[in-house]
Structure 1
Amino acid sequence: MVMFAIFAGVLVLLLLGVTTAVTMGFASIATFLMAGGDASRLFLVPQRMFSQVSGITLMSIPFFLLMGNLMSVGGISKSLFGFGRVCLGHKAGGLSNAAIVACIVMAAMSGSAAACAAGIGMIAIAEMTKSGYDRAFSCATIAAGGALGPIIPPSITLILFAGLTQTSVNALFAAGTVPGLLLGLAFMLWSSYVCKKEGYTVTPKATWAERWVGFKDAFWSLLTPVIVIGGMFAGLFTATEAAAVASFYVFILGLFVFKTLKLKDIPSILWNTVEQTAKVMFVIATAGFFQYVLLYTRIPQQTIAFVSTTFSSMAVVLLIIIAILVIMGCFMEGTAILLITVPIFVPIAKSFGYDLIQLGIVMCIALAVGVLTPPVGLNLYVMASITGEKVMEIAKHALGYVVIMILVAIAVAFIPGLSLGLAGIVG
């Protein structure tokens, strides 16, 4: 009953328009008092909030947000899509696949779904429309490509999971690489099928000279994920140091290479980063007291007892977890879902001896589905705001990508090698 009251209260407050952080804070305090907690112990609220955001792992978040903001005005997305277009544009679904490839590379820089979709969408939609692509399908394809942002490392979602569970960020990043690329490949195959079925035109085949020019334009942009991911896997950087180095690198690219970034843009970029960081950290901070309330009310222990007596196999539990996350993603923002469910799902996984790194990737993919499903569907609204298309029309064309993401989440849940294989290789 207490757990039901928590979820019901959170859902009602969110539907009323209360921000995620305030919702979790009020719900936690109310639950604590309803469960018989001593009101004089509410001094624990600021204490738990502070301890939740004081970990070194979370320091990488503002740098990744800064890198995403610098990329949005730094010309990187344009060069990436241009290179993909000259390489793939002459094939069936070539432009849509070029957009997905650009999103994959963007995902390996920013770790944000919205940043990927917005950065590539503003460049790719015009060319796809010019070539006769249905605008709603184009929007859905780029929205799906953007959904790779929280999955392909570096990922803010995986950083949060690492901070909440005390697992290795590098291990999670390595584990997310293969599933993320597998999703990208599946998206490309689906978009090619749809484009061939609908008879969308292809662009003339580029010459090798044009491809070389496209590669030269995109070369410095393509080095960004090498710096971030390669540096971490090689042991040269921690996640925080890699984010800081990459932010500086993107700043240099925008200022001196692409020359689209001006010094007068820096104050607004920094201020936007501060605002975004404050919003994210406020949500994470309130989750600190929320976790304390869960432990106080013994909800995780009761849930484990119920699950272990009801289900004898982790397989059924995994399917239930994926279903819960996908359904919640239709109504809540991914960060809030992660902070609410991790204290419940992680103890259950431990009780069955399930690997937490593998669980983190499964949860990450299932949560990413939420950016494509209304009524919340962040990437749907991002693309609608860019193009003026109706959200539900984009959502209809995104259904194929949603099914693919759910199937890949199930595959990763039941095939450990998809996520843990590379993590084991890089140690």
Structure 2
Amino acid sequence: MTTVMISTMVLCFALTISVAVSIGLASVLGIQVANVNMLISVKEMFGAINKFPLAAIPFFILAGNLMETGGISRRLVEFAKSIVGGVQGGLPMTCVLTCMIFAAVSGSSVATTFAIGAILIPALIKHGYPTSYAAALQATSAELGVIIPPSIPLILYGVSAEVSIGELFIAGFGPGILISGALMLFVWLYCKYKGWGKNDGDGRLKLLPATWQAGWALLMPVIILGGIYGGVFTPTEASAVAVLYALVVGMLIYREIGLRDLFPILRKSVISSAVIMFIIANAGLFAFLITRAGVPDAIGRWLEAVLQSPALFLLGVNAALFVIGMFIETSAAIIVLAPILAPVAMHFGIDPVHFGLIMVVNLALGMITPPFGVNLFAACTVARIPLDRIIGHLIPFVLVILGCLMVITYVPGISLVLRDLAFAK
């Protein structure tokens, strides 16, 4: 059964069939081969999405779309530009910093790509940066949308591995800040080397006016994250608060969202949410079948026999996840692999929260690596260029994040120090 399922899934991927359909078709064939009642598919698919924390996903997606339309994104860009935009290479640094701030509410890298890319990619091109560089930078920076909390993949890992989502969220700050700082340092040095961005400071606002203008936008992550860590509301409830706040600010304060804008925003959010939920439902059935076949136990025993130390285990897992992330959508990969790998990591004495950050940061690389990097397609859509044109500029960014991943992997304190301080008793 397992051979049939995996072979079918790989074949479907090779034929460029969508991830959800590929996983679902492989699961159906697995059921037929194992002679299991087909009714089990309905039960497991419903059970996979019938989890309260998953309700946060459509709300965070809707909040991100409301921010994009309501002028919040544009004001965040101006605020970030007022901080770092005055140096050579300040505009690419603005891109990274804005994505980091935007990620603190949206939870989605694709939403971050479209919301921020629609503003900054044209601005980068106008200031003389190559279109391919602008698209590669935006796709990479938007990856922070799934690392900086609140993060949809972190929610999925928490549900799949039965780990506290609150602990995962606070642990995500360390890796997110590390990657943001490394990317900003790299683009600053690279622009110095290339001679780009000498006029990036033209037209930027002073810090105080930019902060005043973006005040309501900047208050949003403070309310959302402060409410979560202050125990006022759960991460799922926070997602609904984010929607309400974005709606009030966009419609009543900034007045850039009208009643006629609501239907397109809701439609876009429903489609995005439905795609993710469909993937989760099919991946839940797939995970049930391979667990029933004993695959997780077999993999666990094999890893324990071959990789006999935590360091080797983490190295092997990182190598495998990097390759898997190139071909399988992040959400599906987490749902399928987290229940398999997390118990093995715990056997090696690795904190499940730390391991969750390793998984998410690694699989997030799949969003910016061909052939199925969703951020790449989103950035190329905004920049209106083919995918092959940005590969050359993309490679250095991937290497920077890989370097950060190794630091995150082997220095657990980066992920755990804030968690330990926040949840110390």
Same fold (TM over 0.5): yes
Aligned residue identity for 1:17: T
Q: Structure 1 residues 145 and 205 mapped into 2: Cα distance closer, same or farther (>3 Å)?
A: closer
Counterpart-to-counterpart distance in 1, 2:200 and 2:194: 18
TM-score, L = length of structure 2: 0.95
Identity of aligned residues (%): 33
Q: In 2, are the aligned partners of 1:153 and 1:173 still within 8 Å (CA)?
A: yes
Aligned residue identity for 2:255: K
Counterpart-to-counterpart distance in 2, 1:186 and 1:209: 25
From 320, 323, 326, the equivalent of 1:324 is 320
Aligned residue identity for 1:19: S
From 294, 306, 331, the equivalent of 1:335 is 331
Match of 2:30 in 1: 31
Spell out, residue by residue over 1:175-195, the C-alpha distance to the aligned partner (whole angstroms, 9 max, x if none).
111100110010000000110
Q: In 2, are the aligned partners of 1:362 and 1:410 still within 8 Å (CA)?
A: no
User: Aligned pair 1:277/2:277, yes or no?
Assistant: no
Match of 1:372 in 2: 368
Q: State how 1:75-114 maps to structure 2 within 5 Å.
A: 75-114=71-110
Q: What's the offset of the Cα at 1:273?
A: 2.0
Spell out, residue by residue over 1:332-384, the C-alpha distance to the aligned partner (whole angstroms, 9 max, x if none).
22122222222321232132232111111001000111111111121122121
Counterpart-to-counterpart distance in 2, 1:251 and 1:70: 7
Residue 330 of structure 1 aligns to a residue whose secondary structure is: helix
From 168, 176, 181, the equivalent of 2:164 is 168
Cα RMSD after superposing both structures:
1.8
Match of 1:247 in 2: 243
Match of 1:22 in 2: 21
Match of 1:422 in 2: 418
Q: In 2, are the aligned partners of 1:49 and 1:288 still within 8 Å (CA)?
A: yes
Match of 2:115 in 1: 119
Match of 2:386 in 1: 390
Q: What's the offset of the Cα at 1:397?
A: 0.7
Q: After the TM superposition, which of the residue ranges 61-70 and 279-288 deviates more from structure 2?
A: 279-288
Q: What's the offset of the Cα at 1:109?
A: 1.0
Counterpart-to-counterpart distance in 2, 1:292 and 1:33: 15
Spell out, residue by residue over 1:145-193, the C-alpha distance to the aligned partner (whole angstroms, 9 max, x if none).
1011011100000001111111111000011111001100100000001
Q: In 1, are the aligned partners of 2:107 and 2:152 still within 8 Å (CA)?
A: yes
Q: After the TM superposition, which of the residue ranges 390-399 and 293-302 deviates more from structure 2?
A: 390-399
Counterpart-to-counterpart distance in 1, 2:81 and 2:199: 9
Q: What's the offset of the Cα at 1:29?
A: 2.9
Q: Structure 1 residues 141 and 205 mapped into 2: Cα distance closer, same or farther (>3 Å)?
A: closer
Spell out, residue by residue over 1:304-337, the C-alpha distance to the aligned partner (whole angstroms, 9 max, x if none).
1111122211211211211112112222221222
Q: In 2, are the aligned partners of 1:90 and 1:202 still within 8 Å (CA)?
A: no
Match of 1:64 in 2: 60
Q: Structure 1 residues 172 and 26 mapped into 2: Cα distance closer, same or farther (>3 Å)?
A: same
Counterpart-to-counterpart distance in 1, 2:200 and 2:318: 42
Q: After the TM superposition, which of the residue ranges 232-241 and 268-277 deviates more from structure 2?
A: 268-277
Counterpart-to-counterpart distance in 2, 1:396 and 1:9: 33
Extract unaligned runs of 5+ from structure 1. none
Q: What's the offset of the Cα at 1:385?
A: 1.2
Q: What's the offset of the Cα at 1:390?
A: 3.1
Counterpart-to-counterpart distance in 2, 1:19 and 1:65: 21
Counterpart-to-counterpart distance in 1, 2:7 and 2:291: 19
Q: In 1, are the aligned partners of 2:144 and 2:176 still within 8 Å (CA)?
A: yes
From 150, 167, 172, the equivalent of 2:146 is 150
User: Aligned pair 1:213/2:201, yes or no?
Assistant: no
From 111, 126, 134, the equivalent of 1:130 is 126
From 177, 184, 187, the equivalent of 1:188 is 184
Match of 1:223 in 2: 219
Match of 1:51 in 2: 47
Counterpart-to-counterpart distance in 2, 1:5 and 1:196: 53
Q: What's the offset of the Cα at 1:206?
A: 7.6
Aligned residue identity for 2:107: G
Match of 1:264 in 2: 260
From 306, 311, 318, the equivalent of 1:310 is 306
Counterpart-to-counterpart distance in 2, 1:83 and 1:367: 30
Counterpart-to-counterpart distance in 1, 2:58 and 2:296: 31
Spell out, residue by residue over 1:401-425, the C-alpha distance to the aligned partner (whole angstroms, 9 max, x if none).
1112222222212111111111111
Q: Give the aligned length.
A: 423
Q: Structure 1 residues 10 and 113 mapped into 2: Cα distance closer, same or farther (>3 Å)?
A: same
Counterpart-to-counterpart distance in 2, 1:344 and 1:72: 37
Q: In 2, are the aligned partners of 1:93 and 1:191 still within 8 Å (CA)?
A: yes
Q: Structure 1 residues 379 and 81 mapped into 2: Cα distance closer, same or farther (>3 Å)?
A: same
Counterpart-to-counterpart distance in 1, 2:260 and 2:347: 54
Residue 225 of structure 2 aligns to a residue whose secondary structure is: helix
Spell out, residue by residue over 1:247-281, the C-alpha distance to the aligned partner (whole angstroms, 9 max, x if none).
11011111122222111111222222222222211
User: Aligned pair 1:6/2:5, yes or no?
Assistant: yes
Counterpart-to-counterpart distance in 2, 1:412 and 1:137: 26
Q: After the TM superposition, which of the residue ranges 195-204 and 239-248 deviates more from structure 2?
A: 195-204
Q: In 2, are the aligned partners of 1:139 and 1:394 still within 8 Å (CA)?
A: yes
Residue 232 of structure 2 aligns to a residue whose secondary structure is: coil
Aligned residue identity for 1:62: P
Extract unaligned runs of 5+ from structure 2. none
Counterpart-to-counterpart distance in 2, 1:198 and 1:207: 22
